[in-house]
Structure formats: structure tokens, C-alpha cells
Chain A
Amino acid sequence: EAEVAQSPRYKITEKSQAVAFWCDPISGHATLYWYRQILGQGPELLVQFQDESVVDDSQLPKDRFSAERLKGVDSTLKIQPAELGDSAMYLCASSFEGYNEQFFGPGTRLTVL
């Protein structure tokens, strides 16, 4: 069964360091999402791609976060520099189109010390 892949699964870093997360969506899914989930809360959208284009990054802290999907397939989310408040689960999801069912990857648990 097709799945969304993410790596790494866990990341521990010190504040002010740079971190990067990778996501490979389900083959054929044009829409890719990055979410951040704080413990005890629902996920919140950081950025949405349609193919290689950013559709929505209104909630992405652009002073430290960046995201790219250069060839319209896999995607990288970067944080530089990391802050203590960035500790969270980072989830990637994909869908065939922006209004279809979303499928999530296993997530990356980030801890900033």
C-alpha cells in the first residue's frame, strides 16, 4: 500500500542550529502539505504545495522556516535557526488534489534543547 515517507523520525538539536526534514508523498499526489502539531493539539498547516508551487504559506514563520518542492515530488522543510518553541511533531501529508482525502506520514518529532 502506498504511504507517505518522512525522515528522520526523531531529531534532537540545540537552539540556533539548523534542521531539515524530508518528505516523499504518495506517487501521483500533486498536493503536498507540511503541518506542525504541538502536543495535545490538532495539526496546523505550515505550507501547501501544488506540484512545485507554493499555494499557501501564510502560517509559515518565514524568518526562520523555508520549504521547497523543486521537482514537484519530494519536499524539504528547513528551520534555521531552531528555537525552543519549535519543539513539536512535523507532519507531511499528500492528496491527489487539494480537496481530496489527505494521507499523512509518520511524522518527525523535533526536540530543541
Chain B
Amino acid sequence: KQEVTQIPAALSVPEGENLVLNCSFTDSAIYNLQWFRQDPGKGLTSLLLIQSSQREQTSGRLNASLDKSSGRSTLYIAASQPGDSATYLCAALYSNDYKLSFGAGTTVTVRA
């Protein structure tokens, strides 16, 4: 089974601190990896997509890296703000079936 794991399940940081969110996947045969944000009771907002041929992708304060050999992706959020409080999910699209496998998410609280 192609599993995606996100640890920790939750974290709390003071405003201004950089956030580091981890995602690990069991199968290196991924096509791409996508990071999403989900606010309580809402749908998913796509943040970044990294193709398997890429090492990182950046958008504003967000930077995502991908290391296929170690089965890891990391989402960095610089200078966190209370508005960054949400659940962040990663999802791997595997080359064999093109299905997204999701992690359970990391719930982030940024304290003012």
C-alpha cells in the first residue's frame, strides 16, 4: 500500500517563527507531490505542486522541497502569521495508478 505520513499531527508556534512541515511517502515512484491547506470545515486549497523531476518549488513565503530517494517532502513557511493557522496536507500522485494518496495532515496554530 502506498502510504503518506505526516508527523507531527499538530504543532503550535509563536508568530514570526518559521514553520517546517514534514511529509514522508513509502514509494519513490511518484509522479508529483502536492501540498494543500485546509481551514476548518472547508475544502482544500492547493499551495504548491512539485513534479518528480523537480527538487523544490516556491510561492511567496512558501517553499516545498522533494527528495525522492529518501521519500520525503518538506513545506517551509517563512515568518509565520496567525492567518497561517490551518491544517496542511500533502498528497503523492503515484506513477502506477495516478491516484492521490493523502497524509492525515498537520494542524498548525500560530500564536499572536
Majority DSSP secondary structure for residues of B touching A: strand
Question: How many contacting A-B pairs (Cβ < 8 A)?
Answer: 48
A44 to B99, alpha carbons, bound, how many Å? 10
- Is there an interface contact between A40 and B31, defined as CB atoms closer than 8 Å? no
The stretch from A11-19, A67-75, A101-109 touching chain B is A101-109
Please give the distance in Å from A66's CB to the nearest CB on chain B.
21
* Residue among B31, B44, B99, B105 making CB contact with A91, cutoff 8 Å: B44
> Which single residue of chain A is at the shortest CB-CB distance from B103?
A42
* Residue among A42, A45, A102, A109 making CB contact with B105, cutoff 8 Å: A42
Of A6, A48, A104, chain B has the most CB atoms within 10 Å of the CB of A104
Chain B: interface size category: 20 to 34
Q: A99-B31, A99-B32, A104-B36 are in contact. Are A91 and B43 (CB under 8 A)?
A: yes
> Which single residue of chain A is at the shortest CB-CB distance from B93?
A99
Contacts of B100 in A (CB 8 A): 43, 45, 102
Please give the distance in Å from A59's CB to the nearest CB on chain B.
10
Of A42, A48, A91, A93, chain B has the most CB atoms within 10 Å of the CB of A42
* Residue among B36, B43, B102 making CB contact with A106, cutoff 8 Å: B43
6 contacts between A and B (CB under 8 A): A41-B104, A42-B91, A42-B105, A43-B100, A99-B98, A102-B100
3 closest pairs, A vs B, by CB?
Answer: A42-B102, A104-B44, A106-B43
